[in-house]
Amino acid sequence: MAAGVSFGDCYLLSRSSSPIPTNRHQPISFLFKPKRFPTTKLDATSLSSSSSQQGFGFSIERTTGKDRNAQMSAVRQLTGSLMAAEGLRFAIVVARFNEIITKPLLEGALDTFKKYSVKEEDIDVVWVPGSFEIGVVAEKLGKSRKYQAVLCIGAVIRGDTSHYDAVANSAASGVLSAGLNSGVPCIFGVLTCDDMEQAINRAGGKAGNKGAEAALTAIEMASLFEHHLKF
């Protein structure tokens, strides 16, 4: 057996019988002693319960669904309710342009408010010339502090020029700015469609009534602000 010198977990061996090579050109080889680390076998039982398994210098945490539910139950979660609309006041800003579309959208919104116990005297409808003018009026209504939400209804239909893009973008940014600047939820219920057929389908046609859907959003947001975010 070849002689060698031990360096911790490895041996320095020479190919001669001399413990240390005398010829500096004589080849030297290393024999390493692998160190075994403690391991823990993970089975289906250990994975299904909360545990901490020690492995190669790190730990594996397992958490059960029950533990996760307990963590979630300790977190306060706030949400608006469609069943808490009574006593809330709403304003609806409606664009007169493309009235063949905006009027059915308004009717769908009013039907939804009535269905969820919003009284007629708690709803004010404000007409504006077009969708471009919705934002400034919505902001004014929001800042009046008379309403818990402002619903914005309009219809922008693509034509032969780029006018559609300017009006659609301005309407969207206007409604967003109205909500941010007034601190009152301003709901975007403006249709932006490629043609009249798409608009009709979304104003009570086969795609439903987007005015009714926007009214549901208005109720939920008004309830959230009134019952949870009123500081």
Of 25, 163, 227, 228, catalytic: 163
Amino acid letter, 153:
I
Asked whether 5 and 31 are in contact (CB, 8 A), the reply is no
Secondary structure element (H or E) that encloses residue 197, with its range: helix 196-201
Alpha helices, DSSP H only, in 12-133?
A: 44-47, 65-73, 99-115
Q: How far is CA 161 from CA 157, 158, 164, 169, in A?
A: 11, 8, 7, 14
163 is annotated as an active-site residue: yes
Asked whether 199 and 155 are in contact (CB, 8 A), the reply is yes
Asked whether 166 and 208 are in contact (CB, 8 A), the reply is no
Alpha helices, DSSP H only, in 25-184?
A: 44-47, 65-73, 99-115, 134-143, 163-182
Cα 181 to chain centroid, rounded:
22
Q: How far apart are CA 226 and CA 133, in angstroms?
A: 27
Q: What is the DSSP letter of 52?
A: E
Largest CA distance in the chain: 108
Asked whether 32 and 16 are in contact (CB, 8 A), the reply is no
Active site residues: 163
